[in-house]
Structure 1
Amino acid sequence: MTVRQIAWAVVAVVLLTFGLLALRWPVYLPDFDPWGVQIKCGSGFSADLVQATFAGKADQCQHALAVRRMWAIPVAALGWLIVIVLVVPLLRPQEARSPG
């Protein structure tokens, strides 16, 4: 691998990791429920709207989750695409070089 390919591999791993972690991190609203607890909406992977429903903020939670998914999924997908572009040429068999 060349230095350029290694640099692209590092960028790809960072993008993929950051995108997946962003989907895993919990999404909170800046608002609080009637009991003074910050409203948790779930994560990018799954919604948890029970607390938001009791607080009357389910629509805001769905919007916050959609925004998180709107940028985190493309970031992870871009990282994965770069990984594929780097790995596919390595999997192809080398063509036999015929003498001159």
Structure 2
Amino acid sequence: MTVRQIVAAVVAVALLTLGLLALRWPVYLPDFDPWGVQIKCGSGFSADLVQATFAGKADQCQHALAMRRGWAIPVAALAWTIVIVLVAPLLRPQETTAAR
């Protein structure tokens, strides 16, 4: 692998990690429910709209989740594609030259 490919692989792994962590981190609204607790919407992987529904903010939570997924999924997908493109040539069997 060349230095350029190694740098691309490191950047791709960092972006993949960022995208997956962004999907894992909880999504909160800047609003609070009647008891003063910040409204949690769930994460990029799953929605948890119980608190938001009770506070009347379910639509805002769905929008916040869509925004998180809207950038985190493409970042992770692009990074995964770069990793595959860089690793695929390494998995091909090497041609050997037979001595004649």
Shorter-chain TM band? over 0.9
Shift of 1:94: 1.9
What are the within-5 Å matches in structure 2 for residues 1-100 of structure 1?
Answer: 1-97=1-97
Shift of 1:95: 2.7
Between 1:87-96 and 1:28-37, the stretch displaced more is: 87-96
Structure 1 gap segments, 5+ residues each: none
Shift of 1:98: 7.4
Q: Calculate the aligned-residue CA RMSD, in Å.
A: 1.3
- The percentage of aligned residue pairs carrying the same residue is 87
CA distance, structure 2, for counterparts of residue 24 and residue 44 of structure 1: 6
Structure 2 gap segments, 5+ residues each: none
Please list every run of at least 4 consecutive aligned residues from structure 1 whose deviation after the TM superposition is greater than 3 angstroms. Answer: 96-99
The one-character-per-residue Cα deviations of 1:12-68 (angstroms, maximum 9, x if unpaired) are 100100000000000000101011110000000000000000000001000000000
